[in-house]
Amino acid sequence: FEESWMSLLGVLNPVSHTDHELSPEEEIEQVQGMVIAVKAITSLLMQSSLVPNAGNPASGFYETRPRDKPLAFLHTRCGKKLSVIRGLIEQEIINLCAARPDRMVPQSYSGSPSDRTSLSLYECNLERELGSEDFSLGQISVESTWSLVGSLDNNLSNSDTTDSL
């Protein structure tokens, strides 16, 4: 890991051993070499984050963790009641949209407070495309990376709101 970062720093800030100026062609080649090196190091780091088999793109996939912490409010009595009400409203909308073939029917939502999927609606990364297997923006947070390597303080991982209505 340290060698990879030192290589990356060496690529991004190369030391010039010559006192003469580089021609435009040489500068272009140097920049292209930097781009290739950064892509290679990035690919190495990305393949090391594959699960369950790090480094094996044939059987591994990129882990997706939500950036947002689960809302503590959804675990309260009022939050569970509002989840049920939202589920009923969304089910009615789905039923209304199902009769129109020109409209996409949204993903069904289970409003049962005991169902874990009702809470996952609020925890997903909305900007991520569903079904995409590529690593993209917003896929994993710094906090979840810290938890993967074991350096996350448990006090930081708790939600800020502890609503108990």
Question: What pLDDT is attached to residue 63?
Answer: 72
Question: What pLDDT is attached to residue 152?
Answer: 63
Ordered per-residue pLDDT tens for the chain, 165 residues: 677 777 777 777 776 666 678 788 988 988 898 888 888 888 887 888 787 887 887 888 777 666 666 677 888 899 889 888 888 887 888 777 777 666 554 444 444 444 444 445 555 555 555 555 667 666 666 776 776 666 666 554 454 444 433
Q: State which amino acid sits at residue 132.
A: S
Question: What pLDDT is attached to residue 30?
Answer: 85
3-state secondary structure the chain: CHHHHHHHHHHHCCCCCCCCCCCHHHHHHHHHHHHHHHHHHHHHHHHCCEECCCCCCCCCEECCCCCCCCCHHHHCHHHHHHHHHHHHHHHHHHHHHHCCCCCCCCCCCCCCCCCHHHHHCCCCCCCCCCCCCCCCCCCCCHHHHHHHHCCCCHHHHCCCCCCCC
What ranges do the domains of the chain cover? 2-14+23-62, 72-157
Question: What pLDDT is attached to residue 132?
Answer: 56
pTM for the whole structure: 0.47
